Amino acid sequence: MEKYNTEIFGSSLAGSKYVAEKIKALIELNDSKGVSTVLGLATGSTPVIMYKELIRMHKEDGLSFQNVISFNLDEYSPMQPESEDSYWYFMHENLFNHIDIKAENINVPKGTLSDDDVSTYCNDYEAKIDAAGGLDIQILGIGRTGHIGFNEPGSPEESITRQVTLNQITLDDAAPSFGGVENVPTKAITMGVATVLKAKTIYLMAYGSGKSEIVSETLTSDITSQVPATFLQNHNNTIFVLDNEASSLLPT
Ligand code: PGA
């Protein structure tokens, strides 16, 4: 356990505020140096409270996102951006519409690509992250399969942005918000494991007892592509931000 950096909080709110403070501090430091901040962002229920805190910091504390460039981890495919099920829509509803980030600095993978365009688009997404200076902070949740982004079991460590087929557990978990598993897109465009591991700092948030098993497996099992989150063991600056429930199965 010593090699892992875990921060355990009494509530998801406290953990979310901790991560928001780290983001705020980096944006302010970079602003004072006149350089932009590159954020890798995640969807799902986990980061929502953290985004609420960033919005509060923008509205009440004057935190500006004018010099922030964002790259989202993933998007369903096929998926129209204006669909309420899209991650593009999710990010605008839960964060972008409420802060002063420039529209041209927002990057969410496209869910409308033809098969012919996928590979060029994905390579360009990688290149765009690199051209922005690389991800300063990557925010992650974790799925019950151990996926990070949509890097499902079997995703290799050297994988980069690409189209993937979603795992059945992931489809089942998404079913309620799509009104049935038959409505969930079976594919996605996702940053790869290697894309994520290039981030300078990674905050993986996991809250609630439903995450306790996969958190414990991620932190204690050998590195395996069957649990892609275990590749984070090869990253030297990942902080696991947990609440008491999510950390309950970790060895003490
Ligand atoms: P959740 O999803 O935040 O909705 O639990 C996390 C994930 O699947 O990566």
Q: Quote the ligand 1 centre to 148 CA distance (angstroms).
A: 9
Residue nearest to atom 8 of ligand 1 (CA): 143
- Order the strands of the 187-190 sheet from edge to edge: 74-77, 187-190, 162-165
pLDDT digits (tens, 9 = 90+) for 79-89: 999 999 999 99
Taking the CB of residue 66, how many other CB atoms lie within 10 A of it? 12
Mutational test site, ligand 1, from 19, 76, 142, 167, max ligand atoms within 8 Å of CB: 142
pTM: 0.97
Here the tokens at position 112 are 């409308």
Q: Quote the ligand 1 centre to 125 CA distance (angstroms).
A: 22
Taking the CB of residue 232, how many other CB atoms lie within 10 A of it? 21
Q: Quote the ligand 1 centre to 158 CA distance (angstroms).
A: 22
Torsion of CA 76, 81, 87, 93, to 10 degrees: -160
pLDDT digits (tens, 9 = 90+) for 178-235: 999 999 999 999 999 999 999 999 999 999 999 999 999 999 999 999 999 999 999 9
SS3 18: helix
Q: Quote the ligand 1 centre to 73 CA distance (angstroms).
A: 12
Here the tokens at position 88 are 């593009």
Are 212 and 22 in contact, with CB atoms under 8 Å apart? Answer: no
User: At what angle are helices 48-61 and 87-94 packed, to 10 degrees?
Assistant: 40
Ligand 1 cavity residues, CB under 6 Å:
44-46, 141-143, 147
